[in-house]
Every structure is written in structure tokens, then in C-alpha cells.
Amino acid sequence: MKNNIKSENKHISLEEMQKQSDFIAKVSTVNAQKEAVPRAFVETYGCQQNESDSEKIKGMLLDMGYEMCSDTGSADLVLYNTCAVRENAELRVFGNLGALKHQKRRKPDMLIGVCGCMMQQEHIADTIKSKYKHVDMVFGTHALYRFPQILSEAMENQRVFDIEDESGSIFENISVQRDKPPLAKVPIMYGCNNFCTYCIVPYVRGRERSRNAEDILNECRAVADAGYKEIMLLGQNVNSYSNDLSDGLKFHELLREVCRIDGIERVRFMTSHPKDISDELIQTMAEEKKICKQLHLPIQSGSDKVLSDMNRRYTRAQYLEKLAKVRRAMPDIVLTTDIIVGFPTETQNDFNETLSVLKEAEYDMIFSFIYSKRRGTPAEKLPDSLTDEQKHKNFDEMLKVQNEISKRKNDAYVGRTEDVLVEGVSKTNSETLTGRTEGGKVVNFSYLSSGLQADELIGTIQKVKVVQAQTWSLLGEL
Ligand code: 5AD
Ligand code: SF4
């Protein structure tokens, strides 16, 4: 294993982590004296990185003597882990906070906290300070590891605002309360250096910083030992993993190491920036059996002018060439992307180019968003070319075009037998199990005629025959 010397500077000191452990002990002593075990409700908005952060928050809460509950009504502590990428997620948080005001009036001991990306924006923290006085704790992404101290202070009736911008810290050895097996999320790096002109992430999550490979691999080994079968490696731009380390493994080398871990059967990763996809990564994906043949490669727009205005640093042709390379190496690969409709400089012609790139690229699925102005980003100052009404019309048209492509792609699976990692009982039909193909497609399938119990199947990889295709998922039989 190579040494990662530079990165050591970024780690929160052992003394600081010890201080937080002392706060954990302090809070759990207080909680142990309560009549009933206190209950905590944590709600997560946004991306998988936020979900991963929430798993740490829940881990710390359990260490501090809480049990988790699934509604605010029975909670002694409510915490929202927020997302700042688009305005609608922010509005929902404010709505929920407003509703909690009455609940807190009835139950004055209740503690309310808000954390995550939204809180790294000064104007948001200021609004909460002045207008949401029932909120006890506000802390940003960089203060996550200080949650025990923040909670301890809030329990002593202080209002705590911990929103320092310390871009660039890494903390290890925090308890993690994951969802049940088989899927585990493992962050490999934090932050982003790309500064796409529409995006708030570099401002609220700071600069790219990579965890040491040994810490990542130890976490992967631990989740394998705990029975997890699939690992999702997380980062805003996983292809630049270790660029900030003096002597770290490159991303494709890290992937190979993760594949060597016994017990792990599938490895995925999110997200890749198209400009940074390397030939070595494509080759590694093609060669390593455990790496799922699935790639999420956000294109954002099909127009070169808009891509340039977005500071994406690739052209449509360069992007499509990468996609072709990926398909040459892995003809069956499942490809997905992100699209923004209504970026300020996008004209109707530019939008038509996005439609044409969707037809050309033939993604299995897209995640599409109407552009949302973010305060402090370069695109904030750009005047709009299209009306809101036109943007919504374009958005609907794009979905129609893509739905046809997605359905056609899924139709090709009918009759095939796929390896499906069984995740659980379907939410809509208790006689059906749900899981994912290697390509990440959701399959809902019947299993009763096999004579096997759901518990025996969940967490295992099974052969499932696809019998019907829908736009967003497949139906099958074990
Ligand atoms: N408005 C709309 N969508 C955005 N995204 C990021 N910032 C914005 C914004 N300001 C989308 C991009 C990105 C995905 C995670 O969110 O498509 O890839
Ligand atoms: Fe945002 Fe661009 Fe970084 Fe993705 S790569 S997080 S879109 S700035």
C-alpha cells in the first residue's frame, strides 16, 4: 500500500475526536437517567453523500443513548439533514420547520436541529436565526463530527450555530448506522473542485479531499464482515480520487483493491465527471467481474454553447466519444445521465440539441431537473433566455422522448435471465420481492412458487427471468 502523506494534514486531530467521544459519554449519561429511552427522528434530503452523512449522525445518536423513530410526533429530537442543490428541497425544509413550531409548543423539551449543505449558506443560517427561533441547533457539513458537542450544548438550553467554513477536513472512526444489508455506501472523497457555473456544491462542501485508501478499504472490509454484498463508492467526482494526495492509489487502482475483498459481490460508484473518465478506469470496469456494468455520466446539456457556459469543460462530441469508448469495452453497459433544462443561456435551439443528444446517446434512464438559481454561483447573474412556461413545456417534452427510449431499452430485457441482488419485499405488493440487476435496473419479481421464504432470498443474488418491461423497472419471476 502506498503512503498518503499530504492527506494527513486534513484529518481532524485525535485530541479533537477524543473530545467528541467525551461529549458522547456525557450525553449518554444524561439520557440514561431519563424515564424512557429518548427518540430521534432524522430526515435526509438530497444525494447519497447526504444519506451517508445521516448514517453517521444516526450512529452518533445511537452511541448517545437515542433510539430512532420514524415520525416527528413521537420524537424527542428532530434533525433535518438538508440539500442546497435546488430551491425546492430548501422550501420543503422551511415548510417542515414551520410545522414543527406547534409541536414544540406542546412539547417544549423537544430539540430541533438542521444540518447539511443548506446551512453552509450564510443567508439561510441567518434566516433560521431570526425567523425560526424554535430551532435549537444549526450546523453545516464541516461540523458534522462536532454533533455530540453541539447536542450537549443544546441540551443545556443553548442555541447553537456551528457553521464555520473549514473547507477541507476529514474525520474517521465515527459510528455509522447503515441501512440493513445488502447495500453499503462508502464515501471515498468529499467536496468538489469543478465549479460548474450553476452548482452550489463546491461552496457548501468545500474543495476535493480524499480519504486515505487504507481507511476506505478497512471500512469496506468491515461492511463485508457485517454481511453487506454491494458497495457504492461515493464522491462528487470519483475520477479525481487521490489527486489531492501526494502518493495515493488512483481511482481505478482503488476499485481493484475493493474487488479483492471477500464477501463483496458487487461494486458501484457515483459520480463520474465525463472530462475525467480515464481509459484505465474503462479497462478496469471491463475486466473486474465485481464492478457493475453501469455508469452514471452526467452530460447536463447537448449544446456546446450551454456546456461552455456551464463550465463543463467537454464538448458534446468529446462526451459522445467517451460514451462510445465505454460501450465498445462493455456493450451491455447500462448508462444513465443528469440533464438540466432551462439553464439561463439555453435557447430553444440549444434545448433541441439536448433532445437530439438523448436520441443519440440512448440512455437507459435520465435524472432531469429544471434549472434552479443558486445564490453565489456564477450563473445566478445570467439573464434568462426562455420563460418559465417554455422551460416547463420543454421539460415535459424531454421526459416524453426519454420515456420512449427507456421503455425500448427495458423491452430488450424481456425473456432474459438476470442476476438480481435481492434487496427486500416490494413496497406495493407483499408477494413480490425487489432487487437490482447488475446494471442497476429495478426488478420486482414473484418468488412464492419457488417455495423459498423472503428472508432466505433477501441479500442473495438470484437468477430472475424478466417477463415484462415497464418504463422505470422490470417485472420478473424467480
Ligand atoms: N439547478 C438544477 N439542477 C442542478 N443540478 C446541480 N445544480 C443544479 C441547479 N442549480 C443537478 C445537476 C447535477 C445533479 C446532481 O443536480 O444535473 O448533476
Ligand atoms: Fe456540482 Fe459540477 Fe461539482 Fe458536480 S462536478 S458537484 S455539478 S460543481
What are the pLDDT digits (tens) for 294-326?
999 999 999 999 999 999 999 999 999 999 999
**Helix, strand and coil in the chain, % to nearest 5:** 40, 20, 35
DSSP letters along 114-127, please?
Answer: EEEGGGGSHHHHHH
Q: Which CATH number fits domain 176-409: 3.40.50.1860, 3.80.30.20, 2.40.128.120, 3.90.340.10?
A: 3.80.30.20
With a 6 Å cutoff on the Cβ, whether 48 touches ligand 1 is no
With a 6 Å cutoff on the Cβ, whether 391 touches ligand 1 is no
Rg of the chain, C-alpha, whole Å: 23
With a Cβ cut-off of 6 Å, ligand 2 is lined by 192, 194-196, 199, 201-202, 236-237, 273
- Cβ-defined contacts of 72-76 (< 8 Å, 24+): 72/41, 72/100, 72/103, 73/103, 74/39, 74/41, 75/39, 75/40, 75/41, 75/110, 76/38, 76/39, 76/40, 76/109, 76/110, 76/111
Q: Angle CA(293)–CA(340)–CA(382) in degrees, nearest 5?
A: 145
Residue whose C-alpha is closest to residue 441's, from 334, 332, 361: 334
% pLDDT > 90, the chain: 93
Structure confidence at residue 167 as a pLDDT band (50, 70, 90): low
C-alpha cell recorded at residue 310? 456551464
CATH, range 10-169: 3.40.50.12160
Q: Which CATH number fits domain 417-477: 1.10.3470, 3.40.1350, 2.40.50, 1.10.510?
A: 2.40.50
Return the ligand 2 atom nearest residue 192 CA: 3
Residue whose C-alpha is closest to residue 326's, from 375, 293, 298: 293
The pLDDT assigned to 6 comes to 43
- Sequence ranges of the chain with CATH classification 3.40.50.12160: 10-169
Distance CA 313, CA 194 (A): 9
Q: What is the 3-state secondary structure (H, E, C) of 440-473?
A: CCEEEEECHHHCCCHHHHCCCEEEEEEEEECCCC
- Sequence ranges of the chain with CATH classification 2.40.50: 417-477
Distance CA 119, CA 203 (A): 11
Pocket test for ligand 2, best of 196, 203, 271 (most atoms within 8 A of CB): 196
C-alpha cell recorded at residue 258? 475493493
Return the ligand 2 atom nearest residue 200 CA: 1
C-alpha cell recorded at residue 115? 444540518
Mean predicted confidence (pLDDT) in 118-140: 96
For residue 145, what are the CA distances in angstroms to 134, 151, 235?
23, 11, 18
Q: For residue 192, give the ligand nearest its CA.
A: 2
With a 6 Å cutoff on the Cβ, whether 372 touches ligand 1 is yes
Residue 300, strand partner residues: 339
Q: Is the pLDDT of residue 7 over 80?
A: no
For 322-366, the pLDDT digits (tens) are: 999 999 999 999 999 999 999 999 999 999 999 999 999 999 999
Q: Using the mean position of ligand 2's atoms as its centre, give its distance from the Cα of residue 259 in Å.
A: 27
Residue identifier of the C-alpha nearest atom 18 of ligand 1: 338
Q: What is the pTM of this model?
A: 0.95
Q: For residue 375, give the ligand nearest its CA.
A: 1
- Sequence ranges of the chain with CATH classification 3.80.30.20: 176-409
Q: Using the mean position of ligand 1's atoms as its centre, give its distance from the Cα of residue 340 in Å.
A: 6
Q: Is the pLDDT of residue 3 over 60?
A: no
DSSP state of 323: H
The pLDDT assigned to 430 comes to 86
Tell me if 185 sits within 8 A of 55, measured CB to CB: yes
